[in-house]
Amino acid sequence: MKAQEIIRSIEQEQLKSDLPVIYVGDTVRVGVKIQEGNKERVQPYEGTVIAMRNGGINETITVRRIFQGVGVERVFLIHSPRIDSIQVIRRGKTRRAKLYYLRNRVGKATRIKQRFDRR
């Protein structure tokens, strides 16, 4: 079991500590580092969190947004060095852990009630 302890300690060093508390249904703005030639810039990606997976170093969030009338989903590894920042724009009030049903909805039907009790 010594190897597992070594792996866990290495993973602990890589975890980000400055992340906000994210829930499914929240609208977030994820700053993604983009490499263009020899320059690096931060591109914001704003959308609704429809799923969260795993925990620890492998924790991911799936963010969905509508771009030019087409639904686009991206999965972000939140402890990745490619992620510059995650900012919660508004809290969403949902009754389930995965919001995959939003894929079948269009327009105003995709709205999620706002939650005010969480900071």
pLDDT bin (cut points 50, 70, 90) of residue 109 is very high
Write down the pLDDT at residue 72.
95
Q: Indicate whether 116 pLDDT > 90.
A: no
d(C-alpha 86, C-alpha 6), whole Å: 29
Q: What is the DSSP letter of 1?
A: -
Q: Indicate whether 118 pLDDT > 60.
A: no
Q: Indicate whether 26 pLDDT > 60.
A: yes
Write down the pLDDT at residue 119.
59
Write down the pLDDT at residue 7.
87
pLDDT bin (cut points 50, 70, 90) of residue 40 is very high
User: Taking Cα atoms as reference points, which of 57, 53, 54 lies closest to residue 10?
Assistant: 57
CATH class of 2-107: mainly beta
Average pLDDT over the chain reads 92
For the chain, percent of residues with pLDDT exceeding 90: 75
